[in-house]
Amino acid sequence: MKVLIDMNLSPRWVEVLERHGHEALHWSSIGDPRATDRRIMDWARNNGFVVFTHDLDFGVILAVTQASGPSVVQVRAQDVTPDHLGDLVLSALERHADVIEAGALIVLDEARARLRILPIV
């Protein structure tokens, strides 16, 4: 899976995701760190990437635009480091790979994963 890591998450996620077979890029390595969320979403959609973020705005954009992609994986926790959430995120990517490929918003916290198929209507 190709994963674009948003600016609000550590670039250390790249190594964690790549070590488990994913192609991963941190937005800071390919785009303007001040880019809008819409710009990041457009880039991800045009390049076949899933957006991985801690930002609520990506889910709002999907809902408001009723877009069918890109998929967004959103973590909701105080500690969003790979050391704390790595296993949870990797497990969710594997478990929900088919719906992520088709288009989904997945919200993860320490207790559960909530899944919405795109478009959100």
pLDDT band for position 121 (50/70/90)?
A: confident
| Mean pLDDT confidence for 18-43 | 97
Q: What is the pLDDT of residue 68?
A: 94
d(CA 59, CA 27): 18
Spans of all domains in the chain: 2-117
Q: How far apart are CA 72 and CA 56, in angstroms?
A: 10
**What are 50-78's pLDDT values in tens digits?**
999 999 999 999 999 999 999 999 999 99
